[in-house]
Amino acid sequence: AQTVTQSQPEMSVQEAETVTLSCTYDTSESDYYLFWYKQPPSRQMILVIRQEAYKQQNATENRFSVNFQKAAKSFSLKISDSQLGDAAMYFCAYRRFSRGGSNYKLTFGKGTLLTVNP
């Protein structure tokens, strides 16, 4: 079974600084997807960034980027120029690549609560 581990229950960062959230996962699959979701106080889950395992290039979305290390099964999220609105719970998630009849469920880590200090 796939597992996702987020080893940092809480992190804090100063506004405008950079922070990196860690995620490791365990899978025997070679094709899969990885995600970072953000859950602000409203509790609405918002997709931050997505990475396909077959792509060597790290995904980037504006101030958000990942460091995807497939061999190490590591998928960290870097937030640059942190803003007050980045304060939220961040979840790392894994999803197996779909082939006919495959299991498509998302497996989540336990989350990292990010605080942004003004």
* Contact positions vs another protein (CB under 8 A): 6, 9, 33, 35, 42-45, 47, 50, 52, 91, 93, 95, 97-100, 102, 104-111
Q: Quote the least distance from Cβ 109 to another protein, whole Å.
A: 6
Nearer to another protein, 64 or 97 (CB): 97
Residue with tokens 């509790």: 43
Contact 66, 10 (CB under 8 A): no
Nearer to another protein, 16 or 47 (CB): 47
Q: Quote the least distance from Cβ 62 to another protein, whole Å.
A: 17
Per-residue burial over 14-24, b if 16 or more Cβ lie within 10 Å, else e, is eeeeebebbbb
The sign of the torsion formed by the CA atoms of 114, 10, 109, 59 equals positive
Nearer to another protein, 11 or 106 (CB): 106
